[in-house]
Amino acid sequence: MAIRKNAVYRAGVEFATPSTIEESGTLLGDDDVLAWVGLDSPTDSEIESAVAAFAIDDRALEESRNPHYRSKTKRYGSTLFTSLLAARYDEQTDEVIFGEFHLFTGTNYVVTIRHDEMPDLVRVRRVLERNPEELGLGPEAVLYAVLRQVMDEFIPILAGLLEDIDQIEDRLFAEDMGVSRKIFTTSREVIAFQRATHPLALILDRLAAGYEKFSINPELRSEIDELQGQASRVIEQVDGLRFVIHSAMDVYATMNSQRQNQEMRDLAQDGYSQNEEVKRISAWAAILFAPTLIASIFGMNFVRIPLLDSRWGFEYSLAMMAASSLAIWASFKRKHWL
């Protein structure tokens, strides 16, 4: 069975632990009696049993069958349906794990449905059972205690995400270019965490707005005020994490751009250096070409070559070589090729 615990309380003190949900429904006669059924990963038939036992509105049942990606609360007749995104930080993988959690609260019953191990409802029930005065205030006392537990479990997540961001900053300034994946995963977790925390403010505002209409016990109103303050602090911290992770993304993008610009400058400098070397080689090749051309002409096997029979022919050829080479060298020098 998916029943984690099925207990009925009178004035906040447990007096029965029925074996079935239907039996719990039959014990709800007096105003100070409260049934609290905790279900873990229940089947449709088990949820329908709870619906029938406590006359839960069918529209609330349909809500519980649909996945919710944000926390929400909505009233259907006398049934208040609340969907919460609970979360925990896995230190083994440095990941935030989210799980959906549903509550049905009526005039004298609470049905909780978990599909994961969060929030820690065993702790919530144990704390309330140790405080019969608070539990005796009705289903709203259970709802508020669950909300408080959900937000308490957000605190280690904030600490874990902050540590992840510290690691990102250290890796960024150590110029670890492999930090991009860590930035992406942490950013995704922070955004998902925002989806879990931001709707809490609206949920608490709606609960506070129903004080008079639904005759909420005055002793519970101060509890809502405390929860609203806690939710505001959590939301502010999550928003701060979002701002910091966005700043880290900007820093990474800037550093990456600077690195690419430096690589482009290095490539351009290498290209300039290579171009200078090519110009020098070309210039010297041109300088050496002139004497080579002159020498090859005088080395041709023809009878009539000017200056070939001259007494000063050799000297003339050397002079032409020197003069042409010097002229070419001077020309390249003026162009800064040499």
Q: Which residues are CB-contacts of 132 (< 8 A; sequence separation ≥ 6)?
A: 9, 11, 12, 13
Task: Say if CB 88 and CB 153 are below 8 A apart.
Answer: yes
Does residue 29 register a pLDDT over 80? no
Core vs surface per residue 58-92: b (16+ CB within 10 A) or e: eebbebbeeeeeebbbebbeebbbbbbbbbbbeee
In whole angstroms, what is the distance from residue 333 CA to residue 338 CA? 5
At 130, the pLDDT band (50, 70, 90 cuts) reads: very high
Domain ranges in the chain?
1-136, 275-334
Share of the chain above pLDDT 70, in %: 83
CA dihedral 142, 143, 146, 147 (to 10 degrees): -150
Could you read off the pLDDT of 91-127 as tens digits, one per residue? 777 788 888 888 999 888 999 988 877 888 889 999 9
> In this structure, which long-range contacts are made by residues 320-328, counting pairs with CB atoms below 8 Å and at least 24 apart in sequence?
320/294, 321/290, 321/291, 321/294, 321/295, 322/291, 324/290, 324/291, 324/294, 325/287, 325/288, 325/290, 325/291, 328/283, 328/286, 328/287, 328/290
Percent of the chain residues topping a pLDDT of 90: 7
Q: What was the pLDDT predicted at 308?
A: 62
Options 3.30.460.20, 1.10.150.170, 3.40.50.920, 3.40.50.1000; CATH of 1-136: 3.30.460.20
Instruction: List the single range of 21-25, 70-74, 119-123, 298-302 with lowest mean pLDDT.
Output: 298-302
What's the pLDDT band for 146 if we cut at 50, 70, 90?
very high
- Would you give the DSSP letter of residue 92? T
Global pTM reads: 0.72
**For the residues of 254-323, what is the DSSP string, one character each?**
HHHHHHHHHHHHHHHHHHHHHHHHHHHHHHHHHHHHHHHHHHHHHTS--S--TTSS-TTHHHHHHHHHHH
Distance set, CA 15 to CA 33, 94, 217 (Å): 10, 43, 23
- Cα distance between residue 119 and residue 82, in whole Å: 14
CB-count exposure of residue 128 (10 Å: 0-12, 13-18, 19+)? buried
Question: Could you tell me the CA-to-CA distances from 177 to 73, 166, 260 in Å, in that order?
Answer: 44, 16, 12
Per-residue pLDDT of 66-89, as tens digits, reads 766 678 888 888 888 998 888 888
Q: Is the pLDDT of residue 331 over 50?
A: yes
Of the pLDDT bands very low, low, confident and very high (cuts 50, 70, 90), residue 274 is confident
